[in-house]
Structure 1
């Protein structure tokens, strides 16, 4: 793969998923309105589609406030770390099967490394420094408390996501997302969801907590007076955090589709490229559906769920999988 090809792929990923992150806010508001029997965006453009453009213009033009007692350099750096790690984690993800353009074979993956899933989990974990530095540099006790709560939540559920994914890896025998996809290529019954349903549920719950989605959206709790670690942020910096959040949603949707639901393998007469896009679209809708349906939980309930319920179940699932393989 040439250097120019890698650069082009990186630019395509940045442009596509930045646009999808903005469009994700529209889908969030539209589906939440439909599910909860109220209006979503309706007035700006047909079906409210131009609301995304209006929100983007508003964020660009809003005053960029820097708190007086903040650490200016780290305060500016924190949102960049949050969004950069979200996009870097996409590097080993095969978004679509190979296809040809003008006789040239295109592989829709930036880097097919043999530890792909480990790379995704590691880079996602580094993204924790975004909320941490944002809260610490703001010069606000509310932001600092929010950062402490964010880090405790992210660290806890990183353990669950790492343990839950071990069982499918033991079955496949590889950390490469390409290998995991190919393992499920024979038929729909080879999908790992059938042999590892517990790992799927645990990984999905941990993913919801790490992407700050309801009912686990305690990093910046919209129902509270202050907004956690981003209390002091405004304008474009505030928006960058949310671009990272929605980018992580798409990353999680692709990862779950590849590991547990056959990836980009064709389903009957449905081509592989369309199949994986349909799977990802379903999981994005599931994100919104859960947000519209379930109530928030308290931080102590979240930690109890993680350490007292999910982690023991993940360890037991690993042990059972190991005994079956042996």
Structure 2
């Protein structure tokens, strides 16, 4: 990192801290590259503007933010809070049988992914609230795809910036034979049928530019199926190479859920993995997702729809650079 970049980061952090102080919130880092705990906030739909903007800054800077003790929050107030941060999507492009505002997460994914990358308008963030937890296990781990990109050696970075990947919903974690925690075989089959009821394929840049921070990140995860112009064997080798960079332990943050916890993550700068280590116990979390933009590569070229229309799922957000990240 150059001295100019260091100075810029110091100035950015100073601006962010001033916003936190003005809003009266605390932001305690939980990891060098990802994760922070936010204090002095009671979530709901009545937060003042300066507090909402401070939360947005904390999310951009830390990728994943945790709020503890939010026991008064229910589905309605969770949705009202989400509306302050952006425009909620419908629960899912294909999984629509469980309500019109939020997605009920049952079990655990047991696979690294960013949410809904098989459509062009990838969600910008998700807000997840613990509802029912097992007596042990069931943590979630997130990884910073920004840190992974920044740590790439120059030759790998140049290669990644040239790669484009096709993402498809015909792969889903609940169709796998691995344990998925709290989901029986019949429910897995029914979910997979609904999940793949409409096929989506989108061509995304492997390196995307974050619309609010200008940071570059690696856009991969388990929905990625192939790299444009490369053989399947070449895809497998390159995917594993880059994915291994993303999930290095130094780039991850793990949260052991408690009732009252709410976690927000930047879906444009992270992957996540729900850990299925709780046997047949019930694990239920409620997720509200916020509409995002269409990714662009380092040259400003946008993602391309190959199959499926996701316009019913969400609008495309016109994101603007956050003040703390302005040049």
TM-score by length of 2: 0.27
TM-score when normalising by structure 1: 0.27
| Structure with max Cα Rg | 1
Q: Which has the higher strand share?
A: 2
The structure carrying a bigger helix percent of its residues is 1
Q: RCO higher in 1 or 2 (8 Å CA, sep ≥ 6)?
A: 2
